[in-house]
Amino acid sequence: MLKLENVTKYYGDFLAVDNLSFEVKEGEIFGLLGVNGAGKTTTFRMIINLLDPTSGNITLDGKPIDYSVTDKIGFLTEERSLLTKLTVKEQCLFYGTLKGMDEEQILDKMKYYLDKFGVSDYENKKIKELSKGNQQKIQFITAILNEPKLLILDEPFSGLDPFNVELFKQEIVEMSKKGSIIIFSSHRMEHVELFCKKIVILLKGKNVLSGNIKDIKEKYRKKNIFIKGDVSKDELQDIEGVSEIVEHSDELEVKIKDDTIVPSVFKKIKNKNITKFVVEEPSLNEIFISKVGESYEK
């Protein structure tokens, strides 16, 4: 289990991470969310021992993370961290050996993953000759080559097309099933929603929202009603408790303060020609924007 307890990090007088605590168990996929500069990368760097926390503890299976356990960790950085003059094979051998693997193991795993991600033709190509998407695949492969117990993925889907995003997702889910602890950050909330059971939303280094996504959504009182039919925006906007109405191509999205507003909206349209009336929980993206917005205002 990965455990962060009251972790704080100062850069000089600047508070980058403020008293952050969370834990991630084996097989869990955990989302660390936040706007740019929220403290996500600093948190990742502290977890993998690149930075020392100013205070607090970080442990993996109850032991502090140091160079004796880094062989069990896989890390994919937000920006490309490949040595562009090396070939794919050299790159895998380089990072694999640093993870304590022997050459035979590395080459076996490399061939398996290159084949799986459809890039086996590039084994002897230099990294700089590859497209951004393929570089990201190689970066991902080098991060999981050692089948890490703890896998940290900082924006893993950047530069990938939907097909490859799906490939990555499958692999991440497979690794979690094998018992890996996976933490990842992404600006794409739909990805986080699909993967993660638990999240932390950071703002200026501070935890502004955390817990199970299901619980978070349940606690979040605002709902959305999707209405399709013979009804206009003007007819609904005066109802008390309706905060916003968004017009989509063939339907309206009515944002309401809480469940109690639903009957008022239904009453207003029940005599009209309606083909869809669905009450949905808000998306994580909405909750994220709402929470981050609230905290900014505070």
Partner 1 sequence: MKSKLGFLTGVSLKRKIKSKWFVIANVLIAIVIVALINIDSIISFFGGDFNEKTNIYLVDNANSYELFKSEIEQNEAVIGNNESSYNIILSNETIDDLKEKLKTDEDRNSIILSIKPSEENTIDVTMITREYMDLIDSQVITNSINNTKVALAIKNSSISADELNNIYKTVDIDRQWLEEGKNSTDENMSIIMTTVFPIVILPFFLLTLFLVQMIGAEVNDEKTTRGMEIIISNVSPKTHFFSKVIAGNLFVLIQGILLVIYALIAFFIRDKIGSSSITGGIGSEISNVIGNLIGSEVTSKLVYIIPITLVLMLLTFISYSLLAGILASMTTNIEDFQQLQTPIMVISLVGYYLAMMSGMFEGSIFIKILSFVPLISAILSPCLLMLGQIGIIEVIVSILLTIILNFLLIKYGLRIYKVGILNYSSKGLWKKMFKAMKS
Question: Which residues of the chain form contacts with partner 1 (CB under 8 A)?
Answer: 12, 45, 48-51, 67, 70-71, 73, 75, 77, 79-85, 94-95, 97-100, 102, 142
Closest CA to 196 of 178, 208, 184: 184
Which CB, 11 or 112, lies closer to partner 1?
Answer: 11
| Distance from the first to the final alpha carbon of the chain | 34
User: What is the nearest approach in angstroms of partner 1 to the Cβ of residue 135?
Assistant: 11
Which CB, 82 or 265, lies closer to partner 1?
Answer: 82
Tokens at residue 260, please? 């109690």
Which CB, 94 or 226, lies closer to partner 1?
Answer: 94
User: What is the nearest approach in angstroms of partner 1 to the Cβ of residue 67?
Assistant: 6
User: What is the nearest approach in angstroms of partner 1 to the Cβ of residue 124?
Assistant: 15
Which CB, 185 or 210, lies closer to partner 1?
Answer: 185
Q: How many CA atoms lie within 13 A of 156 on its CB side?
A: 31
Which CB, 49 or 264, lies closer to partner 1?
Answer: 49
Which CB, 45 or 191, lies closer to partner 1?
Answer: 45
User: What is the nearest approach in angstroms of partner 1 to the Cβ of residue 32?
Assistant: 17
Residues 6+ positions from 154 with CB-CB distance below 8 Å: 40, 41, 44, 75, 76, 77, 78, 184, 185
User: What is the nearest approach in angstroms of partner 1 to the Cβ of residue 106?
Assistant: 11
Alpha-helical (H) ranges within 127-188 are 132-144, 162-177
User: What is the nearest approach in angstroms of partner 1 to the Cβ of residue 254?
Assistant: 46
The 8 Å CB, 24+ separation contacts for 279-283 are 279/223, 279/224, 279/225, 280/223, 280/224, 280/225, 280/226, 281/217, 281/218, 281/220, 281/223, 281/224, 282/217, 282/220, 282/222, 282/223, 282/224, 283/189, 283/190, 283/193
